[in-house]
Amino acid sequence: MGTKLLSLACIRGTGAGDGYSGGLLGRPHYPSMPKYPKGVVVEVEEATEGRVLLSVSGMSCSACAGSVEKAVKRLPGIKEAVVDVLNNRAQVLFYPNFVNEETIREAIEDVGFEATIITEETNEKSTQICRILIKGMTCTTCSSTVESALRSIHGVHRAQVALATEEAEVLYDPIIVSHNQFIKTIEDTGFEPILISTGEDMSNISLQIDGPWNDFSINMIQESLQALPGVVKVDMDTNLRKCSVSYKADLTGPRSFIKVIESTGSGSSGPFKAKIFPKGGGRDSHRHEEINQYKRSFMWSLVFTVPVFLTSMVFMYIPGPKHLLDTKIVNMMTVGHLVRWILSTPVQFFIGRRFYTGSYKSLRHGSANMDVLIALGTNAAYFYSVYSVLRAAASPHFEATDFFETSAMLISFILLGKYLEVMAKGKTSEAIAKLMDLTPDTATLLSFDSQGNVVNEEEIDSRLIQRNDVIKILPGAKVASDGFVTWGQSHVNESMITGEARPVGKRKGDPVIGGTVNENGVLHIKATRVGSESALSQIVQLVESAQMAKAPVQKLADRISKFFVPLVIFFSFSTWLAWFLAGKFDGYPKSWIPSSMDSFQLALQFGISVMVIACPCALGLATPTAVMVGTGIGASQGVLIKGGQALESAHKVDCIVFDKTGTLTIGKPQVVNTRLLKNMVLKEFYELIAAAEVNSEHPLAKAIVEYAKKFRGDEENPVWAEAQNFESITGHGVRAIVQNKEIIVGNKSLILKKNINISIDAEEILTEIEELAQTGILVCIDGQLTGVLAISDPLKPGAREVISILGSMKVKSIVVTGDNWGTANSIAKEVGIDDVIAEAKPEDKAEKVKELQALGHVVAMVGDGINDSPALVAADVGMAIGAGTDIAIEAADIVLMKSNLEDVITAIDLSRKTFTRIRLNYIWALGYNLLGIPIAAGVLFPFTGFRLPPWIAGAAMAASSVSVVCCSLLLKYYKRPRMLETLEMQGITTV
């Protein structure tokens, strides 16, 4: 996923920077020049787009990035250009009819930087991620075995296997190894792998094909599909009549596949019909199938086990049936013995064969899992019973005591436990299912004639939408795909994605997000990102990856699991031997032995009970199930937590470093006051400084230019005077020659550096501005201080209350900003923060984080822009705020999709609640085994006469796993802290 995250991070809209400071500020953004040369009329919707990724060396700050972006956007035919100064890359969307990649590269070199075109295939495929569903894992021993096997493959960079989701995620080099080798390796370890996805730029779809299936037609369809451009792989499943296609969404799509399939079969082979395969053949269907398998196995086991239970424990106390069951057949073998033997055999060897299979595969690879314990325990009970019955049949004096009910009931209870466990585990990922359900089932596809008039409307499955399709969205309907508006006006409710409560106005050219709700007005949407590329899919992928990642606390369970089963077997054998020897050498009174058995049988029952009561599953599920539920709940609340590591670190946070602009403040600075120190017409004053600032990418510069536009009336894109010898002084301001006048716009330190005198009046004005928590910008014309601008960036609603709540949670708050000390102190005072670091460059922010860590603090950094990235990486927990739909921010551990500061509290509180649940799970799992094993071994028997029968021990083992999963599921009822529910933020109450 790394490459895609990089490209998404490259095109995100970063928040405003902090003052005139920092070496790496928010990315520049200049409006593109006209898309086509004058006089050329082309419909944008019909144009073919190209994309090029370039490596740009020589950029040292965002002023450089601004120069590159501006140079590219001056070219005709450029749709969008984004420069990532941190990674020295530029991504450009363009129209090949008017400009090519080489021209773009030369334009960058013309402004003084070295540019190289990155070959997409090489870059994209340097690493890939493969996701595989693994069936048959029962405990952490299984997942550890598979994980070790995958990691040992040459070319694998990282492999993670999650027991709770039953999935493996492998990061690998496709040049060295292929995903087929992963499938084979998993099969060799004894489990059944099912490929979910491979690669990063492929979409997958499964189609159901009805028609005359035979070898000829199968080959013909497969070859026809593989011949299509963009099709990577085609798999045919003859049993399910299913065709699975992996493809590149920018080159082809599912409707093309259906058309090819139906046209391929129109000849002598007969007609074919294709449609989307029900449930897509994905992991949900496999989970459903697994639930049904355990349910069927349990129901069949009941058919045989209930009669065994009745004949051994109920009918023996009813005279009529007892007489029949005690009737002897051969010597001392009775009807009851034979009936129980016959009924328990199918349960032991057919219904319970999964435990034999699992044991064999586990032992073959030198490990022992839960299946080994179950197989040993049930076999000991079954085969001793067989021996006892056969000895009774051969002897006229030996009275047999069988344990057939023990083996049959053990298997039945364990199957019931696994059935309940699988059902509960399925509920842990309900949050992901709800996210995926945001997309509508159907969409209205529009067809146009050559004049652009709608000629046809067709309702299709939303999964059949392809890139560049135009979709009609009616009022009240959900948007079917990511794209942009080509016709119509409306308001769209985007709260389910961005958290923005108020509907957002949409008109032609505005972007829309799939899954959001169109409130009023009809819209025509052109699809740009479909399938796995959509914002919703990206969120789901991020949450799924987070659920795969193991929390450090899980290492405890992994270490225990390596020795757990062998130790249990040792304890079980020791228990049997101790009780057997004690009985043989009269170590306890004969009265302790129940009348229906001897000392050997009593010892055997204790040994079997120890073996089957121990539960490695509960330990293995303690952490991942809680992490799954916690990350899923976080996603539903707009808090995307990237895995167990971030979750574990967040619950320990005791110090938060806040960026100012765009984090504590709204991030949209505005000029609120102008004070002239020389006689000058205000319009002429702003004409000069706007001409200089229009060349800067800084948020404050944009605010000045935006303010200057009002002196131009209704002119939307005014042309400013040409600025010569433009110079951006990083962290200070700009300098340029405009209309033969030297213009300097910047902070106080820049003016002093230029040896320009700052009058007492100007000093007083600056002090007054900073006391109002505003930023003061000085303007010099021809070496004379001419004016002072006051720029304000209002606090976010509820900022002060949030800081207060964090204080009550024993979390210290600090402001680190690139703005001046006066403004920083005023903002900090307003929100209630005592510790302030101002005029800090990005590297200074990271250093401050490291200083706090050296003092023993667990530090979270909350920021919104590129200039915060070094600090986000340095912090124990990086929180990116205000990300909107751009959820792929590499530097952050937690992405706060909404712009609400209170989500910082939600993230910390949710992590604390999740880890409380994990601790409870471990207390339950470890405590259960530590208490259960001694009781099963008969510690209480000498004092109380209490003995735990093996079948009850088996039921308890099954119940422990279910209990741990249900304990994790209680997180689904998580509510934000009550203090947030009633928090009044400047007249707005959160709900």
* Orientation angle between helical segments 599-613 and 404-427, nearest 10 degrees: 10
SS3 604: helix
Element spanning 509, H or E: none
Residue 40 φ/ψ, nearest 5 degrees: -100, 125
d(C-alpha 924, C-alpha 622), whole Å? 9
Contacts of 517 (CB under 8 A, 6+ apart): 476, 477, 478, 479, 492, 493, 496
Q: In 631-659, which positions are buried (b, 16+ CB within 10 angstroms) versus exposed (e)? A: bbbbbbbbbbbbbbbbbbbbbebbbbbbb
DSSP codes joined into one string, 518-548: EEES-EEEEEEE-GGGSHHHHHHHHHHHHHH
Contacts of 461 (CB under 8 A, 6+ apart): 275, 276, 441, 442, 443
SS3 89: strand
Q: Return the closest-CA partner of residue 816 out of 827, 806, 807, 803.
A: 827
Identify whether 868 is a catalytic site residue. no
Q: Which stretches of 278-369 are DSSP H helices? A: 283-313, 319-325, 335-346, 353-364
Catalytic residue, from 659, 819, 868, 886: name it.
659
Task: Return the amino acid letter for 931.
Answer: L
Does residue 611 contact residue 407 with C-beta atoms inside 8 Å?
no
d(C-alpha 910, C-alpha 918), whole Å? 12
Residue given tokens 């735990």 in the structure block: 948
Q: Which stretches of 809-901 are DSSP H helices? A: 821-831, 842-854, 869-874
SS3 492: strand
Q: Return the closest-CA partner of residue 443 out of 521, 528, 515.
A: 515
Tokens coding 417: 């436990």
Q: Beta 670-676 vs 784-792: how paired, if at all? A: antiparallel
d(C-alpha 823, C-alpha 19), whole Å? 9
Residue 712 φ/ψ, nearest 5 degrees: -100, 10
Q: Return the closest-CA partner of residue 746 out of 736, 737, 755, 734.
A: 734
Tokens coding 269: 């082979």
- Integer CA distances (angstroms), 537 to 137, 420, 498, 532, 533, in order: 27, 29, 14, 5, 6
Residue 729 φ/ψ, nearest 5 degrees: -95, 100
Active site residues: 659
